[in-house]
Structure 1
Amino acid sequence: FRAILSRVYIPSLTPTFSPEVIAFLNLLCFFSRCSTLRTSCHSHRSSKTPSIDTQFIQLRAEVSKMHRFVFLLSALAATTLPGAVDARRSWAELSGKYNWDGLLDPLDVDLRRTIIRYGELAQATSDAFIGDPASPYAGASRYAPPAFLRKAQVPTDPDAYRVTRFVYATSTSARVHADVFMTRPAPPGAWSTESNWMGYVAVATDRAAAALGRRDIVVAWRGTKRAVEWVDDLDITLVPATGVVGPGPGWSQPSVHRGFLSVYASKNSTSRFNKQSAREQVLAEIRRLLNAYKGENCSITLTGHSLGAALSTLTAIDIVTNGINVRGPPSSRDTVPVTAIVFGSPRVGDDQWKKAFDSTPGARLLRVRNAPDIVPTILPSAFYKDVGVELLVDTLKSPYLRKPGVGPAAWHNLECYLHGVAGTQGAGDGAGFSMAVDRDLALVNKEVDALKDQYPVPAAWWAERNKGMVKDASGRWVLQDHEEGNLAM
């Protein structure tokens, strides 16, 4: 029964049931089985014993009913059994209700899995992105929304979330657009020269919502694969975060990085993808989903890596300060919790931004930083300040990675970050590294060359077969690097 229960829930999304609740579920299953056997024995005494084939068919039917019974019972436990309070408190705690106090050092195993889970949803934006300028679809998603997470091969249950909207961004800053955050296709007649696909909004499916204990809405922002290349000449100009967050009690108007805000809030009337800014697209979709699930317990989780982490940080405070997460009539307001779990984030704003973020109830942020990564500290601390709670990992301690030979690109790489989360044993110099979560080592080399030679995994192995080139009916090779519907809004 424990084995069945362990398979009912989604790995790394499972609410933590107490041993008492698990025992209670086991007893209910046991009594149900006993009742079935009593009925079966009684019928056997009063009739001819069925054949072996008939008994096997009956047993298979009973097992099927038992699995269905346990599934329904476990889903019910997530909302109604005495242990459900613990389960709901568990997800709220993992989402930062208490600022992750007591969960980071040592890193709680459930939080470890939760961080990896959201990191995988962020990684999908990188894996699906067409980054080769030779493609007419450079800057777009390779996959369409309906099966996006499955096509991107998200490791942990790709069917747990359903993508409801793609998000597109542009920039009014020529410097940002040309050289830093945007990819522009070289061929004429390309899908867009003004916009880039920047991520997606997804919502937990019914099955996942039952396991999670709430309907989770996820915004996954795409990062930039050129982060390490642009740090030397990154524009450090600060501009007011007008519209996102304003002055408040104890702080004046916050200012944020000009490039990050430009990607987040710019629109372009000549692009059909950015008549609305990325900000407007995301906030509108969150409103729509909260209304669609207004009778349910909901949460909003933002995730991203590098540039995506900066955009997640902007989105978190934007949602809270502008009341996007508040629903219901004034007499019975319901405030939906907002959490950002980000990786390799550069600093976003100034000291007033930090005061505003830290003073805004409901804006929670867990910032994962790899000790040797230069991106989180590249913007000078004299002008830019960190926000949220930091989880420090150190992939230099990993016995699986080459030393020396791993450089800045690997230190900033998201899969290397997730490897660090899976193995970190504490922030201190004396803390070791061992895989507390069984995470596939091959993922480390998905985009970089970091694993030791004793592991037979090619460097940067994640690529479309033949770089998307296929033979057409005439026998000529043509580029077909995307599926139909990949430009969905």
Structure 2
Amino acid sequence: MSSNHGYRANKWEHLMGRNHWEGLLDPLDINLRKIIIHYGEMAQATYDTFIREKYSKYSGTSRYSKKNFFAKLGLELGRPYKYRVTKFIYATSGVEVPDAFMFKSLSEEPWLKNTNFMGYVAVAEDESVRLLGRRDIVVAWRGSVKFLEWINDFQFLQVSASDIFGCQGENEDDVPEVHQGWYSIYTSDNLLSRFDKTSARDQVLQEVTRLVEHYKNEEMSITVTGHSLGAALATLNAVDMVTKKVNVPNNIPNAKPCLVTAIVFASPRVGDRKFKNTVSKIVNLRVLRVRNAHDIVPNYPLIDYSDVGDELMIDSRKSPYLKNPGAVSCTHNMEVYMHGVAGLVQGIKGFEFKLMVERDIALLNKYRENLKDEYFVPVGWWVQKFMGMVQQSDGSWLLMDRELDEDDEFN
């Protein structure tokens, strides 16, 4: 959803990593730069729609409905590609929650607070298929916001990934292992949820399977994206879809598998060396990790974990626009990541910075004070008017901070 026009149809597989981005990363190809930002914006949308207000009865859900999702998030005007959301993803933290912290009853609150909106599945609209060169299915995952998700982040013991790789009968020592906390978020279900009672994993696999079948007579791609925790979930999800052959249409002899590409930002390490080695051998899977040079999150966990896929290194500290470019809150920020991709120049002396893609610098101050004062952009300007308080006909004010439509889950 970048504001810049993209690539020719006959190039799309190369740009999506079919050849591991050979010749495209150094120097960074202008069309690949735009593509990375395009999917980065779809990952950022998972944050921008998330209701964090603890007093809202819709806290932990998407502020905007599927119908108007991208329009409300400012991702339609000036964008050449149009997508529509087909499914919201709800994930459950597997952390045990003491009774004292649970809501009194489901009649008082619409969900348990360990189940929250975690992302969405979207598909390219008909008018964008020609521009993209194929029917693109996107899965976007949110990073850590809720307290229980942070607890999951620090559950760094490893667990078997046999369910994903389908190798239950093999030597246990040969089975890849992954981060316990992120695997828990990906696979835990919640039978008390008023949303999907199944795991985030099952929700995505079922919806992508449906879309692949629906568009099985077209050329397709599956793209998975996310930031931080969302990047870890996106990596697990991309691997899962290929190993489960969700990317292969049914009932078509010799059907060509879809290329599954994970474009992830600030990704921590997801699994052990066996995980890395196994992932590297998967034919129709590509992973591109965008990493800010001084972001500490991609170094986590420090021991017994390995990076997967190909890496694009940026260095946002070179940007002349940023106020505190070396601060942890800045180097890990998703908008800063996209700013870094927009301005990355690999020079003779290392990284240099020049905005190669016109991306509004005002976006850097959405939530935090990232821009220098001289640019006169308010800090934390991405807020709903009046914090969602809407005046009623009798003059009173009521918190109404979630958009509902005819197919809303609450109807």
TM-score w.r.t. the length of structure 2 is 0.91
Matches within 5 A, 1:372-451: 372-380=294-302, 382-403=303-324, 407-426=327-346, 430-451=350-371
**1:306 is aligned to 2:228:** yes
Choose between structure 1 and 2: higher strand proportion: 2
How far is 1:211 from its partner? 1.0
Q: Which amino acid aligns with 1:166?
A: F
Change (3 A) 1:327 1:398: same
CA distance in 1, matches of 2:253, 2:217: 16
Change (3 A) 1:145 1:264: same
Change (3 A) 1:10 1:422: closer
Is 2:2–2:35's contact at 8 Å kept on the other side of the alignment?
Answer: no
Change (3 A) 1:199 1:230: closer
How far is 1:277 from its partner? 0.9
CA distance in 2, matches of 1:460, 1:10: 22
Matches within 5 A, 1:25-424: 87-88=9-10, 90-154=11-75, 157=79, 160-174=82-96, 189-193=108-112, 194-225=114-145, 230=150, 234-247=154-167, 252-329=174-251, 331-380=253-302, 382-403=303-324, 407-424=327-344
How far is 1:12 from its partner? 4.0
Query: Paired residue for 2:396?
Result: 476
Is 1:133–1:185's contact at 8 Å kept on the other side of the alignment?
Answer: no
CA distance in 1, matches of 2:192, 2:69: 27
Cα RMSD after superposing both structures: 3.0
Change (3 A) 1:423 1:390: same
CA distance in 2, matches of 1:390, 1:119: 15
Is 1:442–1:457's contact at 8 Å kept on the other side of the alignment?
Answer: yes
Is 1:347–1:377's contact at 8 Å kept on the other side of the alignment?
Answer: yes
How far is 1:157 from its partner? 2.3
Partner SS, residue 138 of structure 1: coil
How far is 1:187 from its partner? 11
Is 2:153–2:182's contact at 8 Å kept on the other side of the alignment?
Answer: no
Is 2:186–2:201's contact at 8 Å kept on the other side of the alignment?
Answer: yes
Is 2:292–2:315's contact at 8 Å kept on the other side of the alignment?
Answer: yes
Change (3 A) 1:175 1:108: farther
Q: Given the alignment, which residue of 456, 467, 473 partners 2:376?
A: 456
Change (3 A) 1:10 1:451: closer
CA distance in 2, matches of 1:107, 1:175: 46
CA distance in 1, matches of 2:370, 2:160: 40
CA distance in 1, matches of 2:105, 2:49: 19
What's the CA shift string for 1:416-457, capped at 9, x where partnerless? 100000001128753310000011000011111111111000
Change (3 A) 1:450 1:359: same
How far is 1:352 from its partner? 1.0
Change (3 A) 1:482 1:91: same
Partner SS, residue 458 of structure 1: coil
How far is 1:272 from its partner? 2.9
CA distance in 1, matches of 2:34, 2:66: 25
How far is 1:231 from its partner? 8.9
CA distance in 1, matches of 2:56, 2:144: 17
Is 1:13–1:114's contact at 8 Å kept on the other side of the alignment?
Answer: no
Judge which range, 347-356 or 108-117, deviates more. Answer: 347-356
Partner SS, residue 279 of structure 2: helix
Asked which structure has the greater CA Rg, the reply is 1
How far is 1:274 from its partner? 3.5
Change (3 A) 1:473 1:280: same
Change (3 A) 1:464 1:184: farther
Change (3 A) 1:357 1:13: farther
CA distance in 1, matches of 2:410, 2:351: 46
Is 2:2–2:38's contact at 8 Å kept on the other side of the alignment?
Answer: no
CA distance in 2, matches of 1:137, 1:282: 22
Q: Which runs of 5+ in 2 are unaligned?
A: none
Is 2:16–2:261's contact at 8 Å kept on the other side of the alignment?
Answer: yes
Q: Which amino acid aligns with 1:157?
A: R
What's the CA shift string for 1:364-400, capped at 9, x where partnerless? 00000111111111211x2111101110111100011
How far is 1:330 from its partner? 6.9
Q: Which amino acid aligns with 2:108?
A: G
Is 1:139–1:185's contact at 8 Å kept on the other side of the alignment?
Answer: no
CA distance in 2, matches of 1:232, 1:164: 28
Query: Paired residue for 1:31?
Result: none
CA distance in 2, matches of 1:350, 1:185: 40
Judge which range, 214-223 or 235-244, deviates more. Answer: 235-244
Identity of aligned residues (%): 46
How far is 1:360 from its partner? 1.4
Is 1:150–1:158's contact at 8 Å kept on the other side of the alignment?
Answer: no
Q: Which amino acid aligns with 1:189?
A: E
CA distance in 1, matches of 2:158, 2:172: 20
What's the CA shift string for 1:165-203, capped at 9, x where partnerless? 111111222279x99xxx999998222114201111111
CA distance in 2, matches of 1:318, 1:348: 13
CA distance in 2, matches of 1:200, 1:232: 21
CA distance in 2, matches of 1:124, 1:192: 22
Change (3 A) 1:133 1:187: farther
CA distance in 1, matches of 2:322, 2:260: 35
**1:466 is aligned to 2:347:** no
